[in-house]
Amino acid sequence: MALADLRPHFRPTILLAYPVVLSQLGHVMVNVVDSVVVGHTGTVPLAAVSLGVSVVTVLMVLGLGLSMGITPLVAAADGQRDVPRIGQLLAGGVLQCAAAGLLLTAAGWALVPLLRYLNQPPAVVALAAPWIRVMLLSLIPLMVFQGFRQFAEGLGLTRQAMQLSILANVVNAVLCYALVYGKLGAPHLGMMGAAWATLTARTLMALLMAGYVLRAPRLQPYRDTIGRWRFDAPTQRRLLDLGLPIGAQMVFEVGAFSVSAIMAGWLGATVQAAHQIAINVASVTYMAASGISTAATIRVGRQRGLGDAAGARRAGFAAYVLTFGFMAGMGLLLVLGRHFIPQLYNTDPAVVAQAATLLLIAALFQVSDGLQVVGLGALRGLEDVKIPSLVALLAYWVLALPLSYALGFGLGWGAGGVWLGLLAGLSAVAVVLLRRFERETHRPGLPGPEQLNETAG
């Protein structure tokens, strides 16, 4: 496909993507702030945050993935101008997300006692357990926020979530600093202060996002079709049909990175702290690419709703091109800044040196990481979610993790070997999903509005 064919899609994709990028960064910047602030209190607390993030993030991304089933369905219904269907998706999506938040929190609390069996340093586990419990509580307001946010983004309304994410991150940063160090008249809570700050900021996000969707005049036509807010079985099933495979795919990927954090813990608190720094930095660029991925979901989904297979294909490949350019630039920045960036988190020379090595590997997988997440977004726009989930399972858990263990411990390459295994998994997913999107958008039977209506019913 010629670049000239894609050029008309660059601007609308960027306009949709940049608010989503900033909003997505809001999720990861919570962990960045926590890691930076806590990291300066010592290596063991930073290692505890690493362990805590690895546990909480698995549950969080399952919830985030579940909520992402809302966006392509709303985008497709918007393409068909099906106002009652959009109202059903608003009510069903928010209720499902709220229920998921409660279930994920309960499941997480039940898993906390199992931390002692992960063969982590005892001092790290002791600090991580109470931090994890408070962070799990924050999943409830986060999922409520997601329900309203994914609905709005399906309609192309991406700036509101961006603005609220920026506000919440400012609140989180100020509270985190005040509560961790006992500044600004706040109590001195140490690393626990970071968890309470996050819970407060996410509650604020949920309240404000709900207020926007439930009061905005432009959304009144959709609210008017709801009648009563209740669980509607067909709508819930359709949301689960899309959301659960997306959540599973995200768990397979993030779970692999969480297991890599546990492997790093086997090598000691210093290596685990370095791993947290490197993965924290890499997650920032990943979330930026994830924003472009969401824009691809919206634009591909809308073109699919219109029955325009060629337009869906061009919209998807425009997102691929933008992601490649962005992530290549990020990889170069990581190479150049690999010795300086770790010092923002921790000044222990051993931690900084190990993190610099891991950031070099992170620079190598920037392009693969970006292309695989934008491939997932483009395929979600086609409502193609089950095969990508299987691809993620095989690439991360059959290829990447066994290879990480073999290189890291079998060959004695340490944390570097663990990360090289992850690089192999990301690259495999990127290649397979690119080929699948190309094939699916060339398929003569790409569903149009009639087939979508049948599916929705």
Tokens of 449: 């509005």
pLDDT given for residue 259 in this prediction: 85
**Distance (Å, rounded) from C-alpha 190 to C-alpha 16?**
39
**Distance (Å, rounded) from C-alpha 143 to C-alpha 104?**
10
Specify the 3-state DSSP secondary structure of 80. coil
Question: Residue length, the chain?
Answer: 457
Residue type, 297: T
Q: Which residues contact 320 (CB under 8 A, 6 or more apart)?
A: 371, 374, 375, 378, 434
pLDDT given for residue 446 in this prediction: 55
pLDDT given for residue 445 in this prediction: 53
Domain that holds residue 299: 3-456
pLDDT given for residue 146 in this prediction: 93
Contacts 24+ apart (CB under 8 A), 31-35: 31/57, 31/280, 31/283, 32/280, 32/283, 32/284, 33/169, 33/172, 33/173, 33/176, 33/194, 34/176, 34/194, 34/195, 34/198, 35/276, 35/277, 35/280, 35/345
Per-residue pLDDT of the chain (457 residues; tens, 9 = 90+): 667 778 777 888 888 777 777 776 666 667 677 777 777 777 788 778 878 877 888 898 889 889 988 988 888 888 788 898 899 999 999 999 999 999 999 999 998 888 888 787 888 888 889 999 999 999 999 999 999 999 998 888 878 888 888 888 889 889 988 998 898 888 988 888 988 999 999 999 999 999 999 999 999 999 988 877 888 888 888 898 888 888 888 888 878 887 887 888 888 878 888 887 888 788 778 877 888 888 888 888 888 777 777 888 888 899 999 999 999 999 999 999 889 988 888 788 888 898 999 999 889 888 898 999 899 889 988 888 888 889 988 998 999 999 999 999 989 898 889 889 989 999 999 999 999 998 888 765 555 444 434 433 3
Strand runs (DSSP E) across 161-264, as ranges?
none
Domain count, the chain: 1
Give the largest CA-CA distance in the chain.
Answer: 65
pLDDT given for residue 294 in this prediction: 83
pLDDT given for residue 26 in this prediction: 65
| Residue 44 near residue 123 (C-beta atoms within 8 A) | yes
Give this prediction's pTM. Answer: 0.71
pLDDT given for residue 2 in this prediction: 65
pLDDT given for residue 102 in this prediction: 96
Specify the 3-state DSSP secondary structure of 138. coil
Q: In the 8-state DSSP scheme, what is residue 191?
A: T
